[in-house]
Amino acid sequence: MEKNSKSKILLELAQKYLASIIIISYFGAFMLMFYGFQAYWTHYDQTSVPQPIAYSHYKHVTENDIPCDYCHVYADKSKHAIIPPLSTCMDCHEGDDSDSPELKKLLKYWNDKTPVPWKQIHILPKHVYFTHKRHVKAGIDCVDCHGEVRMMDTPRQVSTLTMGWCVKCHDLHGASIDCYECHK
């Protein structure tokens, strides 16, 4: 009898507050969905990636007038533009006794004879063949794909680098859109 009356009370309460329960559940579910998407984006899709040294392109390129190809020397010569070796950094920073913590990190890597474990930002799938040399020689500027890197304190990916984006650009410039060009 007691059990029946308890369940009756519960049922009455549920009926009374059913609409409120539905509203809270509905919006709560969407909060969770947004949170899930935020977590996914934070871990997999963020445009900028934390680097071992907080290298600022703005300081080096804009304030100190260092051109892109001073460091990324193979952009017009090879598939890969390359990240410069430590010796390129030490051209300017050898004997630099500034208090900058980032510079201290750089000098530590140099003294330990360990390359800086930079994290790659622009990653193409393995089945895509892309060569910097062909694009640079065709007159494509660095900013066309990488954005205004000279203004970035933290480097980030500004173009989606999807196939559709590449094909549209090829179409615009009259370049080949044959499958074999990029999927050798």
> Taking CB under 8 A as the rule, does residue 88 contact other proteins?
no
Whether 46 contacts 34, CB under 8 Å: no
In whole angstroms, what separates CA 82 from the centre of its chain? Answer: 17
Tell the smallest beta-carbon distance from residue 84 to other proteins (Å). 22
CA 158, distance to chain mean position in Å, is 8
Residues 54, 148: Cα–Cα separation, whole Å: 18
Q: Between 35 and 129, name the residue whose CB sits nearer to other proteins.
A: 35
Question: What are the CA-CA distances from residue 63 to residues 2, 32, 103, 143, 156 (Å)?
Answer: 80, 44, 17, 17, 19
Identify the residue among 41, 124, 129, 138 touching other proteins (CB under 8 A): 41
Stretch that binds other proteins, among 30-38, 74-82, 86-94, 96-104 (CB under 8 A): 30-38
Among 4, 20, 87, 120, binds other proteins (CB under 8 A): 20
For other proteins, give the closer residue by CB, 81 or 155.
Answer: 155
Using the contact rule CB under 8 A, the part of the chain among 1-9, 15-23, 83-91, 118-126 near other proteins is 15-23
Rank residues 25 and 131 by Cβ distance to other proteins and give the closer one.
25
- Encoded amino acid at 157, one letter: Q
